[in-house]
Structure 1
């Protein structure tokens, strides 16, 4: 296995110069740095992570704080985790998962023990108990989500308010006078995560502008529960019903419940769900979707924290980036009146 001494010999520099190139502790000319990096590549040299961390006082680890809540749709969470981990590796960082078992104290612990260089925070509540701690920590943090008081914080998320608006405007365009909003699961709603409130705000604003009535029904975890909730909502509905299901956990339950009730998607009822193209297009009746771009949100969150770590001078005092959702029309929504 090649050593830093072998790299130094091939590059024609001292062993200490190789160490400085790896640690970044001293300025090195671009010509010398390139010779060292070319030698490392030629020899397939892998720096010892522990030694590099000791030299640079960096762990090369980003903490990812996620509260694992019972009944939370883990498929959606795993989409974020997999993209975050892959994007971090591209910048030579690893990911350390921090669950909610310790609460905000867990963040203080991993930072205090120098286990992480920075933090990405997920499932952000409007009044999140982690935010006051984050403000005091000596490492940069990026929030996937938007707390009510975001001054001094870097935040990124899908534009859930715009997503709610787009769903209602699409269904109003199709001629629906009512929309039935199948809400997130109770475990999500009771946590007061901010994206739920923002989606509701977009739905309500668009409905008021279009003269559309919004009928709310809670998300359910069983087919029987979903059928019962839908049946109740349909009693308040007039005209051809239209459903919006922004949580992935509700998608399959909603489609199956409507089918069990004898309603054909795209003919008797319109349905707009939040799910990836690959799942929407596998359905017997392909689903119209409002997609929140979790992959793009995840990639940009990692790029933000890596920027803060590699170039602290460019770190903004606060930042908010909202990723535009994508609406894709398929066969689960009815045709406009003019085309019937």
Structure 2
């Protein structure tokens, strides 16, 4: 078995320096950190938190990897983080939050230093660069999100494709024949973020199935962005009567923008959203929505990790079915 002294000898540093380089508990120069990390990889060193704890106990820590990249809505991240932390405490675990955009290196550092027993991974992309590392590590992991090829991984998420379909089904059932999706910021799609891409797939698939006209518009946040996208929608689709929003900060700004352009919600325009239920319910006009169940997803992710740590088999993929709640923002299409 490779020991920390072997790593220190290969890197030409002391064992304590190896420990600090892996744990980040003290500042280490970039050059020294790279030498230590190279030695760890070359020797296959994998310290386990339990091996350094009294009586072989685990660290009782779960890591939560959620890079705060451009286009990520921090309040959503906060809801997920709280749900993970709450569920972890119920299993006598604490949570180590990894928020930097360091990708694989952050997870590798946690695994190499034995800082956590397992990791929850968020903001999953269809071709996520972290996946090869997660498959190679002995560190158990659960993804909140489903990549294009989930083989060898454990994933849980809302069925976003079905959520997009459900919103269109609702609008089509009310007689709307021209609909649009106001989506996440453009960089979310550029990164091929899994949940955003799948919602678009569901939206367009359902629109095609109902043979209704549809367009997709990625959008930033804020009132200026809401006004610009509302003007563009009405310019390009003058017969528009139904909108699906997958960008929760835009709910009230979009309602205001459409009203300034002479369209009342829901008299002239029906609006649905995919977002946390409290956000939809507290909008200026309560919005018909498919809820993003952050509390349930975080709890399920932790429960799956606890099962994996105990050696219990778990399903590869768990998709929560979407549920639509009707509120005041949708109505039957007005007669022409």
TM > 0.5 fold call: yes
Q: Please tell me whether the aligned partners of residues 143 and 156 of structure 2 are also in contact (alpha carbons under 8 angstroms).
A: yes
Q: Please tell me whether the aligned partners of residues 222 and 250 of structure 2 are also in contact (alpha carbons under 8 angstroms).
A: no
Kindly indicate whether residue 334 of structure 2 is the aligned counterpart of residue 330 of structure 1: no
**Aligned-pair CA distance for 1:336:** 6.1
Q: How does 1:163-174 map to 2 (within 5 A)?
A: 163-174=163-174
Q: CA RMSD in A?
A: 2.3
Counterparts in 2 of 1:141 and 1:51: CA distance versus 1, 3 Å = closer
Q: Which residue of 2 aligns with 1:20?
A: none
Q: Which residue of 2 aligns with 1:110?
A: 110
Q: Which residue of 2 aligns with 1:243?
A: 243
Query: 2:228 and 2:334 mapped to 1: Cα distance?
Result: 30
**Aligned-pair CA distance for 1:238:** 4.9
Deviant stretches of 4+, over 6 Å: none
Deviates more, 1:210-219 or 1:82-91: 210-219
Q: Please tell me whether the aligned partners of residues 290 and 325 of structure 1 are also in contact (alpha carbons under 8 angstroms).
A: yes
Q: Which residue of 1 aligns with 2:22?
A: none
Q: Which residue of 2 aligns with 1:320?
A: 317
Counterparts in 2 of 1:130 and 1:51: CA distance versus 1, 3 Å = closer
Query: 2:200 and 2:101 mapped to 1: Cα distance?
Result: 29
Query: 2:136 and 2:281 mapped to 1: Cα distance?
Result: 46
Q: Please tell me whether the aligned partners of residues 58 and 117 of structure 2 are also in contact (alpha carbons under 8 angstroms).
A: yes
3-state SS of 1:254 partner: helix
**Aligned-pair CA distance for 1:212:** 1.0
Deviates more, 1:95-104 or 1:56-65: 95-104
**Aligned-pair CA distance for 1:169:** 0.6
Query: 1:253 and 1:199 mapped to 2: Cα distance?
Result: 22
**Aligned-pair CA distance for 1:337:** 6.8
Counterparts in 2 of 1:240 and 1:53: CA distance versus 1, 3 Å = same
Q: Which residue of 1 aligns with 2:217?
A: 217
Unaligned segments of structure 2, at least 5 residues: 1-49
Query: 2:70 and 2:144 mapped to 1: Cα distance?
Result: 20
**Aligned-pair CA distance for 1:99:** 2.3
Q: Please tell me whether the aligned partners of residues 287 and 331 of structure 1 are also in contact (alpha carbons under 8 angstroms).
A: yes
Cα deviation per residue 1:172-216 (whole Å; 9 max; x = unaligned)?
A: 111111111101112322221111111111111111110111122
Q: Which residue of 1 aligns with 2:154?
A: 154
Cα deviation per residue 1:222-264 (whole Å; 9 max; x = unaligned)?
A: 3223212221111232545211002223323322222332321
Q: Please tell me whether the aligned partners of residues 164 and 202 of structure 1 are also in contact (alpha carbons under 8 angstroms).
A: yes
Q: Please tell me whether the aligned partners of residues 111 and 139 of structure 1 are also in contact (alpha carbons under 8 angstroms).
A: yes
Tell me how many residue pairs correspond in the alignment.
288
Counterparts in 2 of 1:287 and 1:101: CA distance versus 1, 3 Å = closer
Q: Which residue of 2 aligns with 1:301?
A: 301
Unaligned segments of structure 1, at least 5 residues: 1-49
Query: 1:224 and 1:106 mapped to 2: Cα distance?
Result: 36
Q: Which residue of 2 aligns with 1:271?
A: 271
Counterparts in 2 of 1:51 and 1:126: CA distance versus 1, 3 Å = closer
Query: 1:164 and 1:128 mapped to 2: Cα distance?
Result: 22
Deviates more, 1:67-76 or 1:130-139: 67-76
3-state SS of 1:64 partner: strand
Q: Please tell me whether the aligned partners of residues 182 and 246 of structure 2 are also in contact (alpha carbons under 8 angstroms).
A: yes
Query: 1:322 and 1:62 mapped to 2: Cα distance?
Result: 22
Kindly indicate whether residue 83 of structure 2 is the aligned counterpart of residue 86 of structure 1: no
Q: How does 1:102-141 map to 2 (within 5 A)?
A: 102-141=102-141
Query: 1:160 and 1:129 mapped to 2: Cα distance?
Result: 21
Q: Pick the structure with greater CA Rg.
A: 1
TM-score under structure 1 length normalisation: 0.79
Q: Please tell me whether the aligned partners of residues 270 and 334 of structure 1 are also in contact (alpha carbons under 8 angstroms).
A: yes
Q: Please tell me whether the aligned partners of residues 68 and 99 of structure 2 are also in contact (alpha carbons under 8 angstroms).
A: yes
Q: Which residue of 1 aligns with 2:201?
A: 201
